[in-house]
A = this chain, B = another copy of it.
Amino acid sequence: MNCNTPTDICFSFAGFQKRGGATSVHADGWGIAFFEGVGTRVFLDPQPSCRSPIAELVRQYPIHSKNVIAHIRKATHGRVALENTHPFMRELWGRYWIFAHNGALPGFGRLAADAAKAETETASGFQAVGDTDSEDAFCWLLRQLRQRFGAQPPARDDLFAALRELSIEIGSRGEFNYLLSNGDWLFAHCSRQLAYVVRKAPFAVAHLADEDVSVDFAELTTPADRVAVIATTPLTDNECWTTMPPGSLWLFVEGEVLMQAPTVAAPPRTNSADCC
């Protein structure tokens, strides 16, 4: 979720929580990170979210945030364990970066191993703690960014261009749907499957796809509010979700799409709205 005003995620999380072991197979742990300014809180649980006491707290306790990344895990690479639970966090350029990945990267091991060997000699840091390809890919991304930009953070457009190149490189080695945020910018890469909806005035009633729960956003918002929600599969069944084309990188800022670029050689097909 990326918004222009601190917003709680209780409604969306109620449906999301169900997918962790109840309405979908992603039962191997879950996690959620909330940015509040530059600070971040990460809640992780290797238990399925549908029966996690921590998930229950998150569902009921309205934490207001402009950027939230949540993940439910189906373990494909790396055992079910706390250290393998997304989202992952690292600090770079004096900011926390949160990363969650969907997909498997069978061809990434060689690239990561070669890169790690070269970089070990320069002690550039960012080593995986667990044994998922996802955390490996996140660390590789951050090492590449630090090597490219040094100790000073790049401008937003330069970072977008770099992430696009790096996403092309990793994306050629497997499925690399990911979300990455520093609390201001939310990057979303669609390798195969991601969709988003932007909620803005006039707000309407939304109904969850995974549970019979509705909310009337008109009662909870001001006309200036804008909220983007990005998910592998739409979380609601009566809103206009846009399917992102496979092989595309997106940048969300203040609840709207700011940049978009293809990450496959052939230009991706035109965006299609699924339902409107």
Q: Which A residues are within 8 Å of any B CB, using their own CB?
A: 36-46, 53-54, 57, 61, 81-85, 89-96, 119-130, 146, 150-152
- B residues less than 8 Å from A94 (CB atoms): 127-129
22 A-B residue contacts at CB 8 Å?
A36-B81, A37-B83, A38-B129, A39-B44, A39-B46, A39-B81, A39-B85, A39-B129, A40-B83, A41-B42, A41-B43, A41-B44, A43-B43, A53-B57, A53-B61, A54-B61, A91-B129, A93-B127, A95-B129, A120-B152, A124-B125, A125-B125
Closest 3 CB pairs of A and B: A39-B82, A39-B83, A94-B127
Residues of B within 8 A of A53 (CB): 57, 61
User: CA–CA, A42 to B44, complex, Å?
Assistant: 8
- Measured CA separation A10–B146 after assembly (Å): 41
Most buried by B among A37, A61, A96, A123: A123
Q: Are B129 and A96 in contact (CB under 8 A)?
A: yes
Contacts of A39 in B (CB 8 A): 44, 46, 81-85, 129-130
Q: How far is the CB of A30 from chain B (nearest CB, A)?
A: 12
- Partner among B93, B125, B128 whose Cβ is within 8 Å of the Cβ of A146: B125
A188–B163 alpha-carbon span in the complex (Å): 40
With a cutoff of 8 Å between Cβ atoms, the chain B residues found around residue A120 in the complex are 151-152
The answer to whether B40 and A92 touch across the interface, beta carbons within 8 angstroms, is: no
Instruction: Report A196 CB to chain B, min CB distance, Å.
Output: 26
A128 to B92, CA, bound (A): 9
> In the bound complex, what is the Cα–Cα distance between A146 and B40 (angstroms)?
25
* CA of A121 to CA of B83, assembled, Å: 32
* A91 cross-chain contacts in B, Cβ below 8 A: 90, 125-127, 129
Q: In the complex, A57→B85 CA distance in Å? A: 20
On whether the beta carbons of B96 and A123 are closer than 8 Å, the reply is no
Q: How far is the CB of A130 from chain B (nearest CB, A)?
A: 7
Among B36, B42, B45, B83, point to the contact of A38 (Cβ < 8 A).
Answer: B83
Q: For residue A16, give the distance in angstroms from its CB to the closest CB of chain B.
A: 19
- Contact among B37, B57, B90, B129 for A54, CB-based, below 8 A: B57
Q: Which residues of B contact A125 (CB under 8 A)?
A: 91-92, 124-125, 146
Determine whether the beta carbon of A150 is less than 8 Å from that of B123.
yes
A152 contact set on B, CB distance < 8 A: 120
